[in-house]
Amino acid sequence: MADPTVIADDVHVVYKVHAGGRKGGATAALGRLLSRRPGPGVREVHAVRGVSFTAYRGEAIGLIGTNGSGKSTLLKAIAGLQPVTRGRVYSQGRPSLLGVNAALMNDLSGERNVILGGLAMGMSRGQIRERYQGIVDFSGINEKGDFVSLPMRTYSSGMGARLRFSIAAAKDHDVLMIDEALATGDAAFQRRSQERVEELRERAGTVFLVSHGIATVRATCDRAIWLESGVLRMDGPAAEVCDAYEAFTRRA
């Protein structure tokens, strides 16, 4: 039997949302610190409700579902970045989560971010030197001029996301999770990313992919998990789950 890399066992995630305003000066901050009680405006959002599945080595799993169905939350829980309210997530090694939103270090140049990102992931300086050109070429940010020596805050969000993906993909991960990062690039970058996902998977890792583009999931993944309102609706071969999901969205 194949090796499991991620086991989700009845995972529930509940967000506690502080509905009150969070702005104010130093005195308001002091007041909040001193009265440690949660204000009257605390609401709960049950984002993931009892999801169980087992992911195996060598699988590329697409996570699909309408907006707000809990896909990003589930990935964060798998990565250990979001505490689960009930249930457990077991994983092989340290799952790495790639999101599109945050850049690595905005004030530093792309070049420094490549080096620091590599070092942070535990690569040696030699390994980074070896793969540096590959990472920059892969991201394609240097195609329109020498952008890699500029601070990342000058990048468009697509460029930042591409560089982040390239840095993270330079290392072989046991479990790599990609949250809509592939959707941000142009067609050429998407094709390269798909090839890279394929490679990572062949090197015996597991890849999770959240994408709005059902076509991307069909092309990249062999298995799909469909979440709806935090509940696992369907889990199976990508083609079948995508068909069912598309039938569902057409009806709705």
Within positions 194 to 233, which residues make up the interface with another protein, using CB under 8 A?
Answer: 222-223, 228-233
- Local structure of residue 3 (DSSP, 8 states): P
Strand, coil or helix: 25: coil
- Note whether 196 and 185 are within 8 A (CB): no
How many Cβ atoms sit within 10 Å of the Cβ of residue 186?
Answer: 10
Q: Does 47 bind ligand ADP (CB under 6 A)?
A: yes
CA distances from 68 to 72, 73, 182, 186, 212 (A): 8, 9, 19, 25, 12
- Note whether 44 and 16 are within 8 A (CB): yes
Structure tokens at 165: 């993906």
CB of 19 to another protein, least distance (A): 15
Q: If residue 23 lies in a helix (H) or strand (E), which one and from where to where? A: none
Among 115, 148, 169, 214, binds another protein (CB under 8 A): 115
Q: Does 15 bind ligand ADP (CB under 6 A)?
A: yes
- Note whether 6 and 78 are within 8 A (CB): yes
Within positions 232 to 251, which residues make up the interface with another protein, using CB under 8 A?
Answer: 232-237, 240-241, 244
Within positions 49 to 108, which residues make up the interface with ligand ADP, using CB under 6 A?
Answer: 65, 67-73
Q: Does 72 bind Mg ion (CB under 5 A)?
A: yes
Within positions 67 to 86, which residues make up the interface with another protein, using CB under 8 A?
Answer: 77-83
- Contact of residue 122 among another protein, ligand ADP, Mg ion, none (CB under 5-8 Å per partner type): another protein
Name the residue type at position 222: D
Return the number of the residue (75 or 152) whose C-beta is nearest ligand ADP. 75
CB of 65 to ligand ADP, least distance (A): 5
Residue numbers at the binding site for ligand ADP (CB under 6 A): 15, 17, 45, 47, 65, 67-73
